[in-house]
Structure 1
Amino acid sequence: MAAESSMTSGVAGRYAAALFDLAKDAGLLDVVQRDLADLKHLIAENADLAELVRSPLFSRDQQTRAIGAILERAGADPLTRRFLGVVAANRRLFALRGMIDAYTALLAEHRGEMTAEVVSAHPLTDEQANALRDTLSAQLRRTIQLETSVDNSLLGGLIVRVGSRMIDNSLRTKLSNLQLAMKGIG
């Protein structure tokens, strides 16, 4: 059962496990995942929505009505709308990002996939992303999904996180290590 997974600790994990079990029973795993990804995107792009989710200053009723209206307008599945209505009514919207991440992790585990977070100095081309995905899949013997982001301060190279492992092959880190080594010489 998903609730026994190590990813289900804490409020966010317990809610995510419950949603995962409901979606699995209803055959809506992918539909709920799409709804959650869309909501996460909306929260990232809208400061007012992010404040609604985070702030305890909004009443239970305000949060419940607002999240319901947003999900209805976004075309979310009734299961997702009802579930997040319960989350809002229970005053747990502050943990929504963690719930979304935990649900995604449970779904990936269910499918035998792993997610690799890749931070690069410049956007990866499709060819580069595919080559990285293939390399990681061969190394880890699992299907890999990439979540990419760009951090211009890296100067060059990549930082890859898969589970608890991190590979920092960025130019920024290499220069920092070189600087530390040079201080040790002088």
Structure 2
Amino acid sequence: MENSGGIQASLAGRYALALFELARDNGQIDSVGQSLSTVKAALAEVADFRNLVSSPLIARADAEKAVAGVAASLGLDALTTKFLGVLASNRRLDKLSGMIRCYETLVSAHKGETRAEVTSAYPLSAEQVEALGAKLKARVGNDVSLETRVDPAIMGGLVVKIGSQMIDSSIRTRLNTLAQAMKG
């Protein structure tokens, strides 16, 4: 599998690549992906877990024990649990979010998909996500894996990022453009 230089160049990318290769070799790409999705959701929802991951004040041994406990309570697979233990041991837990994104990118490339990040002001329904996926597939020419986020600050519309390309049809951007035009 060919990997982009961007992923290999970053610390998070190198860890994600190592995890991906282990998962691929053991036939666990999907189970590791599911575990990482669970970790990602926990990072978004649980402040104590975010603090554990980001705090440089927690000793390595304490971080390792805490991560093992979190992994057990979340029901993570063995490979992901061991990976989190290595991150805690190497004091790299602060890079976990980036590693998850890189892993998802590697899985998408492995499956022949293109990843797209979609930000909307309100949660999208399943039908809207499906329709957007079909439109993006027609635009890029292959399957698109969508990651949706909600950001009320954009007020309406969508912001879609596909690789280095960004399509910004948000109301916030339109209002900013109008305000700049009115200033003359």
TM-score (norm: length of structure 1): 0.93
Identity within the alignment, %: 47
Whether the 8 Å contact between 1:157 and 1:169 is mirrored in structure 2 is yes
**Partner residue, 2:9:** 9
Matches within 5 A, 1:28-39: 28-39=28-39
CA distance in 1, matches of 2:179, 2:25: 55
Give me the whole-angstrom Cα distance separating, in 2, the residues matched to 1:66 and 1:37.
19
Residues 2 and 21 in structure 1, CA contact (< 8 A), matched pair in contact too: no
Deviates more, 1:125-134 or 1:29-38: 125-134
Residue 59 of structure 1: how far off its partner (Å)? 0.4
Computed over aligned residues only, the root mean square deviation of the Cα atoms, in angstroms, reads 1.5
TM-score for the superposition, normalised by structure 2: 0.94
Name the count of aligned residue pairs.
184
Change (3 A) 1:87 1:153: closer
Contact 2:3–2:106 (8 Å) recurs in 1: no
Deviation at 1:6, TM superposition (A): 3.4
Q: Which amino acid aligns with 2:72?
A: E
Unaligned runs of at least 5 residues, structure 1: none
Q: Distance in 2 between matches of 1:82 and 1:2?
A: 25
Bigger radius of gyration, 1 or 2?
1
Could you tell me how far apart the structure 2 residues matched to 1:86 and 1:134 are?
39
Secondary structure of 2:119's counterpart equals strand
- For structure 2, list consecutive stretches of 5 or more residues without a partner in the other structure: none
- 1:87-106 counterparts in 2 under 5 A? 87-106=87-106
**Aligned pairs for 1:52-63 within 5 A:** 52-63=52-63
1:26 aligns with 2:5: no
Amino acid corresponding to residue 77 of structure 1 in structure 2: D
Secondary structure of 1:124's counterpart equals coil
Distance in structure 2 (CA, Å) of the matches to 1:9 and 1:165? 20
Cα deviation digits, residues 90-130 of structure 1 (max 9, x gap): 11111111111111111111111122111112222222221
Q: Do the aligned partners of residues 107 and 164 (structure 1) sit closer, same or farther apart at CA in structure 2, a change above 3 Å counting?
A: same
Runs of 4+ in 1 over 6 A off after TM superposition: none
CA contact (8 A) 1:3 1:14 kept: no
Matched, 1:152 2:152: yes
- Structure 1 counterpart of 2:84, one-letter code: L
